[in-house]
Amino acid sequence: MTWALRFHTPQGGEFTLPLPQTLPGQEVGEVSLSHKPLEALEARGNLLARFALKEGEALEVRFRLRTVPLEASPPWREALLPEPPEAWPGILAHRGHRVERALGFLLSGRPHTWFLVDGLPLDPFLFQGLRENPALLLPLGVAPDPRLYLGGHEGKRLLLFREPWPGEEELPWNELKPLGLDPLPPARALAFLSLGVSALGLGTGPWPYLPYLALLALRQGPALKALLPRSPRHALESLLFHAFALSVTHDPRPELGLGYLTLFLWNRLRPSS
């Protein structure tokens, strides 16, 4: 799949930006730049390029990306579990491990920061988030066990820059976007438009909603199936929402809406952990 990184200059000048490269868990190829760099260099395992840009100018890097999950069981994995996640980098550094900050994006387009411990990923943020809400990554089509983030990751991320820990560097890229037509956003827009029209009393029937539901099933179905035995209440929340939405387009069932609302509040007031 082809992706684009975009950087919008707040003001003119020279900017040094990390470029995508092939690393464990990600294979990068066919990289093209919208601007010719002044120079390219490597530093601490990072591939960097320096650009001269005018005020308001946009820089774009296009590349093909293939990602795979990383799974490992390092010896420090189980020893961390009794400790609070925010303390993990310090504990491992104190024990003599090489700890680095990793900056990049989840493939949802959201900037993300995690750690590398002797080169292996450690993500206390998603570990803690998934313990509280196992459905956190359903939009990415994955529902991994939180322990995967102690030595691995879900294969839905792009690592761009690493730095010694602790560090204060921020990722300069503004956004990561897939190129090509993604049918899900227009299908979602049509589905929610039909819900709005139906709520006004002009029933559209289920047909405008069904393409969106079919695309969701293809993208999130396997993750939802994996989530169901692990956390039924989080899986049922999603199913109840779509059941109620379908009923709104044809024959409204308030009990489904109340059931969804109750489960929605329960899941957020009573985290899984």
Checking 201-206 for CB contacts under 8 A at 24+ apart, the result is 203/249, 203/250, 204/249, 205/249, 205/250, 206/246, 206/249, 206/250
Confidence of residue 132 (pLDDT cuts 50, 70, 90): confident
Whole-number mean pLDDT of the chain? 89
The answer to which of 76-80, 196-200, 233-237 has the lowest mean pLDDT is: 196-200
Confidence of residue 272 (pLDDT cuts 50, 70, 90): low
- 65-89 pLDDT, tens digit per residue, is 999 999 988 999 988 989 999 999 9
Q: Check whether 50 has a pLDDT greater than 80.
A: yes
pLDDT of residue 167: 74
pLDDT of residue 84: 92
- Edge-first strand order for the sheet with 39-43 is 13-18, 46-53, 39-43
pLDDT of residue 249: 84
Confidence of residue 27 (pLDDT cuts 50, 70, 90): very high
pLDDT of residue 56: 80
